[in-house]
């Protein structure tokens, strides 16, 4: 990354760090270096997208949406499909929110989505947790929702936390699940939270719970720290009307919406990657239109989750770890960024069932492609395994290091007078003949390089003396260190008591404090 000369010395380095970081110190860099599509190809795909929206449309029986959309200029064709003329679609895209802020429960965790700024986020709603070291799945429970949120709160490279696990014990009791998951998420992290709500009936009480966490309804409306992460389309091109009810309620309470599409090329979308892109982009644009129509304004905060999946045509099963998945998701982000809208893709999910080389390769390659494409939010990048079926605590903490490496790659190489200091080279060749003792090396040690927490960089002897552990063993120990003592404490004891009095909260207090939680006595981090 070539730049003009900037302020030199320590103050210059401090300024550059401040420019690149959120107030938390979590670095945020621009992507956009990887462009799988040319500008002409993007326009060609978008021509097909607008044709889909106008000539094929999207199926829905949601009468309120249909009526409101028709007032805006949409129409229902002879097949009963809701269609958006190209002129209307282009107008709604032009008026949509191009930059949005996702608020944390405190300002230090606010993030801004837009442009090519890259953020890493969890997601998943996985029904299982992968146990270490066997890899055997066990049903996810409410406590996992809370503990993964705490882990995400601790990790440097999790900018935003979306629900990773389903509290499976609730079964068909969707209201109790929604209420308890919301409590677990908002108690587990002070970063912006995304929840996949399952029942429209839950929405009034979820809003009330969020207001209580915020200290009042207006406080939440001013800084909404809870968003909806909803799969609102059943591909191909059909709205899920129950989910539309959830979104309609949420936007009225100022909740941002992450509209998640997830087609499978060859199964629920065309097998050609270009056709997959066109259909999914049409679906996510229609979803943004829906959110803004329900909100009664053109610029409700919407994240366009242009997620792309692939079907293994040999078996008919979903595959998420292949290079095609990384390629097509990068292109999906590129298209949404071309429209100057907040983009999100899925990247870090592996098909592997174990914390093995396959998983590491799939997570690293696809997250890096998504990051270099400039996706504003890379979802699913932490801890996912077995093609959306399992979450791994150890994988989550390993992935934090992978996201750190991706972030360092995005930062690039600073080329300026300071970094090309001839005096340092001259001093070295006429003196000690190495750079280890130079002021430049010492000053750059913490800023020029990323140091992964878990990677083994020592000698064979050091490795053997330290127990000859593999990365899974080190991650397992690290998870216990963190979760035995990191409790964010997002609300006061008084507010927590009020919440427990008003709602049937199932998360035991003893699991929310050091010493009595399931992770044992606090271990030094």
- pLDDT digit string, tens, across residues 370-387: 999 999 999 999 999 999
Q: What is the pLDDT of residue 521?
A: 83
CA-wise closest residue to 194 among 241, 239, 229: 229
Query: Does residue 217 surpass a pLDDT of 90?
Result: yes
Query: Does residue 434 surpass a pLDDT of 60?
Result: yes
Q: What is the pLDDT of residue 88?
A: 99
**When comparing pLDDT for 16 and 355, which is higher?**
355
Q: What is the pLDDT of residue 11?
A: 43
Query: Does residue 57 surpass a pLDDT of 80?
Result: yes
User: Domain residue spans in the chain?
Assistant: 94-411, 460-512
Q: What is the pLDDT of residue 19?
A: 38
CA-wise closest residue to 261 among 246, 276, 274, 242: 276
Q: What is the pLDDT of residue 159?
A: 97
Query: Does residue 4 surpass a pLDDT of 60?
Result: no
Q: What is the pLDDT of residue 348?
A: 87
pLDDT above 70: percentage of residues in the chain: 94
Query: Does residue 97 surpass a pLDDT of 50?
Result: yes
The per-residue pLDDT of the chain, averaged, comes to: 93
Distance between CA atoms of residues 173 and 302, nearest Å: 28
Distance between CA atoms of residues 191 and 447, nearest Å: 25
pLDDT above 90: percentage of residues in the chain: 91
Q: What is the pLDDT of residue 218?
A: 98
pLDDT band at 525 (very low <50, low <70, confident <90, very high): low
Q: How many CB atoms lie within 10 A of CB 126?
A: 28
Strand partners, 100: 113
Query: Does residue 16 surpass a pLDDT of 60?
Result: no
pLDDT digits (tens, 9 = 90+) for 396-413: 999 999 999 999 999 999
Query: Does residue 9 surpass a pLDDT of 60?
Result: no
- Among the residue ranges 15-29, 97-111, 390-404, the one predicted with the least confidence is 15-29
> How many residues would you count in the chain?
525
Query: Does residue 151 surpass a pLDDT of 90?
Result: yes
Distance between CA atoms of residues 293 and 69, nearest Å: 7
pLDDT digits (tens, 9 = 90+) for 472-482: 999 999 999 99
Q: What is the pLDDT of residue 25?
A: 57
pLDDT digits (tens, 9 = 90+) for 483-519: 999 999 999 999 999 999 999 999 999 999 999 999 9
Over residues 240-248, mean pLDDT: 98
Cα end-to-end span (Å), the chain:
35
380 and 118 in contact (C-beta within 8 Å)?
Answer: no
The class level of CATH for 94-411 reads alpha beta
Q: What is the pLDDT of residue 17?
A: 36
β-strands 81-83, 100-102: how paired? unpaired
Query: Does residue 7 surpass a pLDDT of 70?
Result: no
Q: What is the pLDDT of residue 18?
A: 36
**Can you give the pTM of this predicted structure?**
0.93
Query: Does residue 188 surpass a pLDDT of 90?
Result: yes
pLDDT band at 160 (very low <50, low <70, confident <90, very high): very high
- Among the residue ranges 200-204, 313-317, 494-498, the one predicted with the least confidence is 313-317
Could you give phi then psi for residue 433, rounded to 5 degrees? 70, 20
Q: What is the pLDDT of residue 260?
A: 97
Q: What is the pLDDT of residue 482?
A: 96
145 and 152 in contact (C-beta within 8 Å)?
Answer: no
Query: Does residue 421 surpass a pLDDT of 80?
Result: yes
């Amino acid at each position: 990354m070539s730049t003009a000369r900037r302020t030199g010395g320590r103050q210059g380095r401090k300024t550059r760090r401040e420019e690149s970081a959120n107030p938390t110190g979590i670095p945020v860099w621009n992507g956009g270096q990887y462009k799988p599509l040319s500008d002409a190809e993007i326009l060609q795909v978008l021509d097909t997208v607008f044709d889909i929206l106008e000539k094929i449309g999207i199926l829905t029986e949601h009468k309120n949406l249909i009526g409101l959309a028709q007032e805006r200029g949409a129409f229902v064709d002879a097949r009963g499909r809701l269609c958006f003329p190209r002129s209307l679609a282009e107008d709604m895209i032009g008026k949509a929110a191009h930059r949005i802020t996702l608020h944390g429960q405190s300002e230090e965790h606010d993030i801004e989505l837009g442009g090519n700024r890259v953020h890493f986020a969890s997601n998943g709603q996985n029904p299982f947790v992968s146990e270490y070291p066997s890899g055997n799945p066990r049903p996810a429970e409410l406590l996992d929702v809370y503990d993964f949120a705490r882990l995400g709160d601790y990790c440097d490279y999790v900018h935003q936390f979306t629900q990773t696990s389903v509290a499976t014990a609730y079964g068909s009791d969707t209201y109790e699940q929604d209420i308890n998951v919301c409590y677990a998420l908002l108690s587990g992290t002070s970063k912006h939270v995304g929840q996949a709500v399952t029942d429209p009936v839950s929405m009034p009480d979820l809003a009330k719970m969020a207001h209580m966490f915020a200290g009042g309804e207006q406080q939440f409306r001013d800084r909404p720290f809870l968003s909806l992460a909803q799969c609102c389309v059943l591909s191909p091109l059909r709205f899920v009307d129950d989910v539309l009810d959830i979104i309609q309620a949420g936007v009225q309470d100022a909740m941002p919406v992450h509209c998640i599409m997830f087609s499978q090329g060859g199964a629920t979308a065309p097998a050609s990657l270009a056709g997959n892109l066109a259909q999914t982009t049409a679906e996510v644009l229609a979803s943004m239109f829906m959110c803004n129509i329900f909100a009664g304004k053109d610029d409700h905060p919407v994240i366009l989750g242009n997620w792309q999946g692939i079907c293994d045509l040999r078996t008919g099963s979903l595959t998420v770890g292949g290079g095609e998945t990384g390629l097509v998701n990068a292109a999906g982000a590129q298209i949404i960024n071309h429209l100057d809208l907040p983009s999100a893709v899925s990247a870090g999910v592996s098909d592997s069932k174990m914390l093995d080389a396959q998983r590491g390769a799939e997570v690293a390659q696809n997250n890096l492609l998504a990051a270099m494409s400039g996706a504003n939010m890379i979802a699913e990048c932490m801890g996912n395994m077995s093609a959306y079926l399992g979450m791994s605590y150890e994988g989550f903490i390993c992935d934090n290091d992978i996201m750190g490496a991706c972030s360092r790659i995005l930062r690039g190489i600073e080329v300026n007078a300071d970094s090309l200091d001839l005096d340092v080279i001259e001093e070295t060749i006429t003196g000690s003949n190495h750079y280890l003792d130079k002021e430049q090396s010492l000053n750059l040690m913490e800023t020029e390089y990323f140091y992964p927490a878990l990677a083994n960089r020592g000698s064979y002897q050091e490795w053997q003396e330290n127990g000859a552990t593999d990365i899974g063993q080190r991650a397992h120990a690290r998870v216990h260190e963190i979760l035995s003592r990191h409790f964010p404490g997002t609300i006061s004891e008084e507010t927590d008591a009020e919440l427990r009095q008003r709602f049937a909260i199932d998360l035991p207090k003893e699991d929310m404090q050091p010493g009595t939680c399931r992770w044992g006595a606090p271990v030094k981090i």
